[in-house]
């Protein structure tokens, strides 16, 4: 049952928000020892919120389209009174004194807070290892990672541990776990994002949230990057179907940069077959693009962005807390501290040169839709922090956090304003999900078009929501 149907059933009183929340809490409890998807649940508080929702329904005082609907939030979101750990035991004693803006909006619409989903410490990793939650595992194969950093959200969505999961995406952190868990991941720009099983679920939540909600971060605006345009009003009862991509300019970018991590043939064969099926199904020409970013762009931007962030962490954490961080963020931070001011300024200039040139030429602006592989490799082992063969010393004077595996995702964060979906498009020979990224050029109707186009492509590919491994 989709979120829209669930919300309608609550409003008709044919389903009970309390019973639905209780069933999900029981499901979470049963799956938690295996998957570690959640870092915090509070059944008493969740059921009290559900009881309040049910009482409103009886009085005919429904707050909105999400009243009674259980939702989870990534551990980086503040939920008043709950742990505010960002995935690390180094912050285990910290509590949120207020709700994050999106949490407050969902609460005002009657959404029921199901829990916090796990993430790698401070989000500085594409893996799913957390000093707080433990090793978060992929429901399709529990020996495999979900990817990060919205790791628990991906596991929860795939395992049916709630209908909607809020994550965050500064360099692919929603779309990566969505790709590796066979779920829908959506990011309307760069910042907050959603993971769910169906595109209609995403559309329902986005419509419920309404205008005026700030989804977007300022990341990606290095030198006048395009800001997110004001979005047109979003209909409450779905969007008209898109009959075809005919008339739209569509491109396929199989590799964003020479710095991209080498692909696996099995994964790319699935993506290439999907792109071919789309072109044939809609009778359109899809232009194949060569890598857009120059060699060295990953290293330059890595030193510039991540060195500053990690220096800030070092300054904020006293020694006794710093020692509690997972080994990867500790090493990342220590190596970042060794970058001299001169090296940092040189890298910053080089990064600006690369991205200024990219944004001045704007090679993607002539397309309405750009298709890419979401990730060009299958998920690696859950207890690893990198895929086999990955060079963590790719970034000079730093320790890379695995983002060379997701440059095809991160490029749209850096540009800013692109509305992006991960769409499951098939499976590897060993049964692991493969994702296709659908990126829509910034415009006032980008979010609506992204949902219409992705739903259409799902039909073209015959990839209606798959039976998930825990169903």
Q: How far apart are the first and last CA of the chain?
A: 12
Q: What are phi and psi of 204, to 5 degrees?
A: -65, -45
Quickly count helices (H) and strands (E) in the chain: 14, 15
User: Is 173 known to be catalytic?
Assistant: yes
HEC-encoded secondary structure of 81-111: CCECCCCCHHHCCCECCCCCHHHHHHHHCCC
User: Dihedral (C-alpha) 33, 34, 38, 41: value to the nearest 10 degrees?
Assistant: -30
Tokens of 9: 């059933």
Burial class of 247 by CB neighbour count within 10 A (0 to 12, 13 to 18, 19+): exposed
Q: Tokens 């529990």 belong to which residue?
A: 142
CB within 8 Å of 200: residues ≥ 6 apart: 2, 3, 4, 238, 455
CB-side neighbour CA atoms (13 Å) of 19:
7
CB within 8 Å of 327: residues ≥ 6 apart: none
Tokens of 134: 């433990």
Q: Are 139 and 181 in contact (CB under 8 A)?
A: yes
Ordered alpha helix ranges (H), 256-396: 265-282, 297-316, 319-322, 327-337, 341-361
Q: Which of 16, 21, 39, 74 is catalytic?
A: 74
User: Is 297 known to be catalytic?
Assistant: no
Q: Which of 86, 130, 149, 301 is catalytic?
A: 149
- Measured over the CA atoms of residue 98, residue 103, residue 109 and residue 113, the dihedral's sign is negative
Beta bridge partners, 186, equal: 194, 421
Q: Which of 21, 173, 192, 301 is catalytic?
A: 173
CA distance linking residue 245 with residue 278, whole number of Å: 9
The 10 Å Cβ neighbour count of residue 223 is: 12
Q: Tokens 């006048």 belong to which residue?
A: 224
Tokens of 194: 């959603």
Query: What residues are labeled active site?
Result: 74, 149, 173
């Amino acid at each position: 049952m989709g979120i829209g149907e669930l919300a309608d059933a609550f409003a008709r009183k044919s389903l009970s928000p309390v019973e639905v929340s209780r069933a999900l809490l029981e499901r979470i409890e049963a799956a938690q020892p295996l998957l570690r998807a959640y870092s915090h649940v509070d059944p008493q508080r969740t059921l009290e919120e559900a009881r309040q929702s049910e009482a409103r329904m009886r009085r005919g005082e429904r707050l909105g389209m999400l009243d009674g609907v259980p939702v989870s939030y990534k551990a980086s979101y503040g939920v008043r009174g709950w742990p505010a750990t960002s995935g690390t035991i180094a912050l285990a004693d910290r509590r949120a004194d207020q709700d994050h803006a999106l949490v407050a909006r969902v609460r005002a619409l009657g959404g029921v807070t199901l829990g916090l989903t796990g993430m790698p410490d401070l989000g500085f990793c594409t893996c799913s290892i957390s000093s707080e939650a433990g090793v978060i595992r992929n429901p399709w194969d529990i020996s495999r990672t979900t990817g990060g950093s919205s790791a628990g959200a991906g596991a929860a969505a795939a395992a049916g541990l709630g209908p909607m999961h809020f994550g965050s995406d500064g360099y692919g952190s929603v779309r990566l776990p969505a790709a590796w868990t066979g779920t829908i991941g959506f990011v309307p720009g760069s910042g907050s994002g959603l993971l769910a099983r169906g595109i209609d679920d995403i559309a329902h939540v986005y419509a419920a949230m309404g205008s005026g909600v700030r989804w977007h971060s300022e990341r990606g605006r290095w030198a006048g990057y395009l800001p997110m345009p004001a979005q047109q009003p979003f209909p409450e009862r779905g969007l008209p179907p898109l009959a075809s991509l005919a008339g739209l300019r569509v491109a396929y970018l199989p590799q964003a940069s020479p710095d991209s991590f080498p692909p696996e043939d099995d994964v790319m064969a699935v993506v290439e077959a999907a792109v071919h099926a789309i072109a044939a199904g809609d009778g359109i020409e899809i232009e194949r693009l060569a890598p857009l970013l120059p060699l060295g762009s990953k290293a330059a931007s890595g030193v510039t962005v991540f060195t500053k962030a990690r220096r800030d962490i070092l300054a904020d954490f006293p020694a006794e807390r710093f020692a509690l961080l997972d080994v990867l963020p500790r090493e990342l931070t220590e190596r970042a501290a060794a970058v001299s001011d001169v090296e940092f300024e040189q890298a910053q200039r080089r990064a600006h040169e690369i991205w200024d040139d990219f944004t001045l030429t704007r090679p993607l602006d002539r397309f309405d839709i750009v298709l890419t592989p979401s990730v060009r490799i299958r998920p690696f082992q859950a207890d690893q922090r990198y895929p086999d063969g990955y060079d963590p010393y790719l970034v000079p004077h730093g320790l890379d956090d695995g983002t060379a595996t997701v440059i095809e995702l991160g490029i749209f964060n850096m540009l800013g304003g692109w509305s992006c979906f991960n769409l499951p498009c098939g499976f590897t020979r060993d049964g692991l999900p493969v994702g296709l990224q659908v990126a829509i050029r910034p415009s006032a109707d980008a979010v609506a078009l992204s949902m219409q186009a992705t739903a259409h492509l799902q039909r073209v590919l015959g990839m209606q929501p798959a039976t998930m491994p825990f169903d």
